[in-house]
Amino acid sequence: MKSLVSIIIPTYNRAHLIGETLDSVIAQTYKNWECIVVDDGSTDYTEELLKFYCEKDNRIQFYHRPTNRRKGANACRNYGFKLSKGEFLIFLDSDDLLDTPCIDNRIRTFKESLDFLIFSTAKLIDGEKTTDIINNDPFELSNQTYLKMFLAYKLPWQTSSVIWRSKVLEKFSFDEYLQRLQDVDFHTSILNLGEYSFKRINKIDSYYRINKSIRDDIYLNQVINSFIYFFTKVYTSSLIKYEKNFLDFVDFFLSRFLYPNDIEYYKHIRFVEKELLKKANLNYRQRKLLGFKLWLDKNGIRFKGYVRLRSFILRNLVDA
């Protein structure tokens, strides 16, 4: 009998989209799968819709996130994994799609010596499948090079790009304190061990929906708090040996999210900069520049070229 494949889908208020996702699962040419949908407290008609799908296909299972677990997709994924029975596993978002032969091709390609496979995921724009691949690959395909990419926030793959041998994931879980950056944290934890074998297959078999929704203050707060949490996690773990790569990550989040909101998130910025000054492996020039900015901020000094100076300091942190 063919191996059972578990597909785990966390969802929250995606009743208008998850039906298409589930249809792409039902349409699979590979038939021996279970699809575990875990709801994160939806207030739309997700429950009614999933009742319909569970009756339509008994391979689909619907659960609610237990109330004693933190709200968020990570808790839903972890709970779904606990319930799963498959030898192989795919994490799928509730608005993304699988190509009809996706699972069939992944299982056919899986060799006994492999722990996971990475396929290509393309963008789904306005409901249309494209050939615009979102994967990024280093010159050398290894645990370490992919790890460095995740830590530099040059994301090599999307969650649904991978099919895992389930036993690998018994040692890992998604960090339920993270509301964003969960894929970075999860994959770096696995890759950091450096003991798993994989293969990269340059074939599109899944689609990542590009959403054009407005990103509000709640989203911004989740991103920044998750960044601070992950930043602290890296600087207190063995991942810090890849600090040179991680500083690209820090540069991106400071320039994209923190500095443009420097009034509201002043304390967060000060925390990051002080931690860098205290813990980062900075040279003399980097320390002087960063220390100078901290002194300016502490004394409330602003001048015409302040923003330019800030950008110059960031460039020096990652380029020196």
Q: Which two tokens stand for residue 24?
A: 């792409």
What is the pTM (predicted TM-score) of this model? 0.91
Say what the pLDDT of residue 265 is: 94
Instruction: Kindly report the average pLDDT of the chain as a whole number.
Output: 93
Domain boundaries, the chain: 5-209, 217-319
165 SS3 class: strand
How far the first Cα of the chain sits from its last, in Å, is: 57
Q: Which CATH class is domain 5-209?
A: alpha beta
Strands 5-11 and 33-39: parallel
Give the tens place of pLDDT for each residue, 133-154.
999 998 888 999 999 999 999 9
Give the tens place of pLDDT for each residue, 102-131.
999 999 999 889 999 999 999 999 889 999
Euclidean distance between CA atoms 119 and 26, whole angstroms = 20
Helices vs strands, H then E, count in the chain = 12, 9
Give the tens place of pLDDT for each residue, 15-40.
999 999 999 999 999 999 999 999 99
Does the pLDDT at position 60 exceed 90?
Answer: yes
Say what the pLDDT of residue 176 is: 94
DSSP 264: T
